Amino acid sequence: MENPARQDFPSSVLEFRLPDLGEGLADAELVSWAVAVGDVVELNQPIADVETAKAVVSLPSPFAGRVVELLARPGDTVAVGAPLIRVRAAGADDAASDTGHTSVLVGYGPEAEATSRRRPVGPPSHSVSPPGEADAEPRPGNAAATPAARKLARELGLDLWFIAGSGPGGAVTVEDVRGAVPVSQPHPAAPATVPGADSEAVRPSVREERTPISGIRKRTAAAMSNSARTIPQAAAFVTVDCTASMELLDHLRSTKSFAGLTLTPLALVAKAALAALADFPGMNVCWDEAAGEIVTKHYVNLGIAVATERGLLVPNLKEAQTLSLRDLSREIAWLAETARAGGATTAELRGGTFTITNIGVFGVDTGVPLVNPGESAILCLGSIRKQPWVVRDEIAIRWVTTLGVGFDHRMIDGEQAARFLATTAGFLEDPLTLLGRA
């Protein structure tokens, strides 16, 4: 039997529904459209960017033809299987296809489609075009832009289609968006004040700001809430004299093997943690509730927590236990750069087994990070700074840091966590023993 929700448009109009992107998720957030109603699209032409599982994915068109309807707005959460766009097939009779059909409509999935609760598509009424371009035609093709540029453009009410991009492949950058703001752009008028009243009391927009919970923040919140609710978490800490490690890093940076690489303490800490995991495989496990089993992983997909403008991402290095210090240094730098640029793939964001977070880069000594769901432990690296330290009963100035490990107490006992942490610290105190295991 034909779906009644699809009888309001002719058979020549093809409907593209949000596909299952292979991540086991029920929905995705529409970031932006690369096409508009009336545009002619080719097969496999990028038509929209959607965000899901902390990655932005470009959707190609499965049809060739002319866009009839856009069925979601940027910022909308669209369920898998819900309609996104309708395209009149190439060569179809335009007059016949338009019968009984309104083209500029937007809906919210099958239920909204059946009840015809729709809104017109178009830029917000407060959008501003760059000077001299108010009547310009949109640029052809995909309005590519970095995630930060998209966010800033939304905040300023600017249309990316009218901004020339200077980034790779013509992508719009934050600098491009800032350069498109008219110098004479008017500021919002201040609300009228009540005589004798505190002016701040009648200006709630100054005192409060509301940000929609969406995208990465929404998914991070769900994951961390699940972590805190379902995992009995504990933590242990150790303060480490890592002077020898800092001296080794200085030496390696001057060698040919590490020329051109950004060798950071994080890479050496990662190498130390991987070596310690080989001695304590019980730290690299997961809890299988359905099977009633603890699953020990004899491989390490090492998650690296990365702070980005879009929120916290944790891409992971597959089979990290096989990497040398040089390879770890290169891969960590590449993974972090890719994540910050919004290019981390869903494969890189899934399947982690053990995570490292480096809060020391923010000048913080230590912290208690939550264990990522599906893992059993997370290692926290604090700031590395010179401090007074007792060396052979004398006070000396040494490079010192604090390591912390958060762990799932269902699978990991305090003794095991402490031994793992002490072993990791020992490798940093004497890194030559660590390199001997590479």
**Three-class secondary structure of residue 129 per DSSP:** coil
Return the number of other C-beta atoms located less than 10 Å from residue 315's C-beta.
Answer: 27
What is the length of the chain? Answer: 438
Assigned token pair, 327? 């390879």
| Rounded Cα gap, residues 126 and 432, in angstroms | 62
DSSP type of residue 242: -
Alpha helices in 262-353 (DSSP H): 265-279, 325-340, 346-349
| Rounded Cα gap, residues 40 and 270, in angstroms | 50
Q: Is 298 a catalytic residue?
A: no
CB 403 within 8 A of CB 238: yes
Assigned token pair, 98? 């338009």
Alpha helices in 32-172 (DSSP H): 94-97, 109-115, 147-156
Which residue among 101, 126, 251, 409 is the active-site one?
A: 409
Helix (H) or strand (E) holding 51: strand 46-52
**Three-class secondary structure of residue 285 per DSSP:** strand
Cα angle 393, 394, 399 (rounded to 5 degrees) comes to: 110
Question: Which residues are designated catalytic?
Answer: 409
